[in-house]
Amino acid sequence: MADDDLMSDDEQLDVPNNIKHITSIRLGQVDIDCWFDSPYINVEDGSNEKDRSIEKLYICEYCLRYFLNNRKYRQHMNECNRRYPPGRKIYEHPDGLSVYEVDGTTSQLYCQCLCLLAKLFLERKTIYFDVNPFLFYVLVESDKRIKNVQHIIGYFSKEKLSDEFYNLACLMVLPHRQRQGFGRFLIALSYELTKLEKKTGSPEKPLSALGQMTYKSYWHSTILSKLDEYHRLQIHVTVTELSMETGICIEDVVQTLIDLRLAHTKNSTNEINFKQPEVRNRRRHHHHHQCDNNLDVSSVLIIDVDALRTALNNLSTSNLSSKHNQNAFDSTYLRLISRR
């Protein structure tokens, strides 16, 4: 994007012929060191073509337009009339967190710039310009001093139609906002949207090392909390029901139970039973699932109650010493989404 020209939302970026190394960016009032290269285009500063290094790129945190020149960046900031993402607000918490759903087709330029920004901090990201098939969920925080101003924290994207039932394609939290629970917030939102669609989902794979760690943490705590609820209410459920109630696909549910060493099974994994023979638990029936009364022993997933208690205690201890509950997603503040 040329630093002299203002591009409208109906314009789009072209695929670049070369990539320059960008050392750092200025995003709003924050300087951030870049981790990886990103194919920003038309940021030539008159330097020799062989010089592929840019010391600092200036990015408007509201429209994501970018500049090499600090003077032009400041001029743009005085003229830019955007103070929050395009799209519609689908989440608004009284503490100041909001989420906007941005369509890659209707806000193509913004979404392309968002992908370019994300590539500075994501090694495996490969899609920057073909944003039409995606929805972007941009997490922002309201400025505590200036009304109607919101600062970007991160985002996740998802395909509008996914044959593989992926509910998240890419997730990025800006480096200076990491380790504050925002990655977990976005993951929880992705599953809440999946549940509203009456589906289950899984993130696009392979996951990065950081992504795998964040997802495992979310899966562990979410499934453990549900199992604790079932056990306290003396309820038996199928794995399918656990999957539908959490939005987590069956494969990820089963793998999580195995990873936590809570369950074992010989063949299929249809029903969850708690390993506590002296307690006669009732079955709970859901109108949208048929419970199979003909399951043999080999098809039953056995949950070790003692192991469950140990895992829950470990989770509670971990949560006390971490920031899992900081900036937690609260579905109460998710606005009704009628279009799906």
Domains of the chain: 83-206+304-339 (3.40.630.30), 207-301 (1.10.10.10)
Q: What is the pLDDT of residue 314?
A: 78
User: Residue 84's closest CA among 99, 95, 69, 94?
Assistant: 99
- Which pair of tokens denotes residue 267? 């063949």
When pLDDT is averaged across residues 23-41 and rounded to a whole number, the result is 93
Token pair 């941005």: residue: 102
Region of 96 on the Ramachandran plot (φ > 0 left; ψ -120 to 50 alpha; else beta): left
pLDDT (tens digit, 9 = 90+) per residue, 166-194? 999 999 999 999 999 999 999 999 999 99
Q: Which residue has the higher pLDDT, 74 or 211?
A: 74
Q: How many CB atoms lie within 10 A of CB 62?
A: 22
Q: Flag whether pLDDT at 214 surpasses 60.
A: yes
CB of 26 within 8 A of CB of 59?
A: yes
Q: Distance of CA 337 to CAs 101, 124, 156, 192, Å? A: 10, 31, 17, 11
Does 335 have pLDDT greater than 80?
yes
Q: Find the mean pLDDT for residues 294-310.
A: 59
Average pLDDT along the chain? 81
pLDDT of residue 42: 61
pLDDT for residue 144 is more than 50: yes
Residue 313 binned pLDDT confidence (cut-offs 50, 70, 90)? confident
Measured from the Cβ of residue 137, the count of other Cβ atoms closer than 10 Å reads 23
Rounded percentage of the chain residues whose pLDDT exceeds 70: 75
Nearest to 264 by CA among 234, 300, 290, 235: 300
Instruction: Output the pLDDT for position 127.
Output: 76
pLDDT tens readout for residues 101-139:
999 999 999 999 999 999 999 988 877 789 999 999 999
> What's the rounded Cα separation, in Å, for the pair 307 and 54?
54
Catalytically active residues, by annotation? 204
Picking from 26, 134, 117, the residue whose alpha carbon sits closest to that of residue 71 is: 26
First to last CA, the chain: 34
Lowest mean per-residue pLDDT among 20-29, 41-50, 160-169, 191-200: 41-50
3-state secondary structure the chain: CCCCCCCCCCCCCCCCCCCCEEEEEEECCEEEECCCCCCCCCCCCCCCCCCCEEEEEEECCCCCCEECCHHHHHHHHHHCCCCCCCCEEEEECCCCEEEEEEECCCCHHHHHHHHHHHHCCCCCCCCCCCCCCEEEEEEEEECCCCCCCEEEEEEEEEECCCCCCEEECEEEECHHHCCCCHHHHHHHHHHHHHHHCCCCEEECCCCCHHHHHHHHHHHHHHHHHHHHHHHHCCEEEEHHHHHHHHCECHHHHHHHHHHCCCEECCCCCCEEEECCCCCCCEECCCCCCCCCCCCCHHHEEEECHHHHHHHHHHHHHHHHCCCCCCCCCCHHHECCCCCC
* pLDDT > 90? residue 295: no
Q: What's the pLDDT score for residue 280? A: 32
Starting at the earlier edge strand, list the strands of the sheet with 170-173.
Answer: 88-92, 97-103, 134-142, 150-159, 170-173
Token readout for 39 is 């194919």
